Amino acid sequence: MLLLLQKGQRVYFINLFNNKIFRIFAIIWMFIGCFLYSFIIGALTSLLLNVDSKYAQYQENLRILLLIKKEYFVENELFVKINKFLKYDMKTFDF
């Protein structure tokens, strides 16, 4: 990469790739970029796994609730209230 500097009538070309300080600076920024990228990907993966496990837990609780409703003849009004609670519990995130 060439940097063009102009002072009055004179033009200076500076080759930045031959500069050791620039190389060290670029390497540090590459490491920082890799770290941030991996951190963001890991955080998103963790968030998606948390959402998926919450949904699976909700499905299991709903299956158990339906079995209880059939076996013990639970009223529909109570079933709807419990189901609303389970949906609310699924939608709240524990960070």
**Does 57 reside within a domain?**
yes
Task: Report whether pLDDT(27) > 80.
Answer: yes
Number of domains in the chain: 1
Strands (E) in 1-95, as ranges, are 2-7, 10-15
Would residue 11 count as lying in a domain? Answer: no
| Local confidence band at 2 (pLDDT 50, 70, 90 cut-offs) | low
Determine the average pLDDT of the residues in 65-72.
95
Q: Give the side-chain half-sphere CA count within 13 A for 20.
A: 0
pLDDT above 90: residue 36: yes
Is residue 18 a part of any domain in this protein?
no
**Is residue 4 assigned to a domain?**
no
Domain that holds residue 75: 24-91
Note whether residue 40 is domain-resident.
yes
Does residue 56 sit within a domain?
A: yes
Q: Does 29 have pLDDT greater than 90?
A: yes
pLDDT in tens, 9-20: 787 776 666 678
Does residue 35 belong to any structural domain of this protein? yes
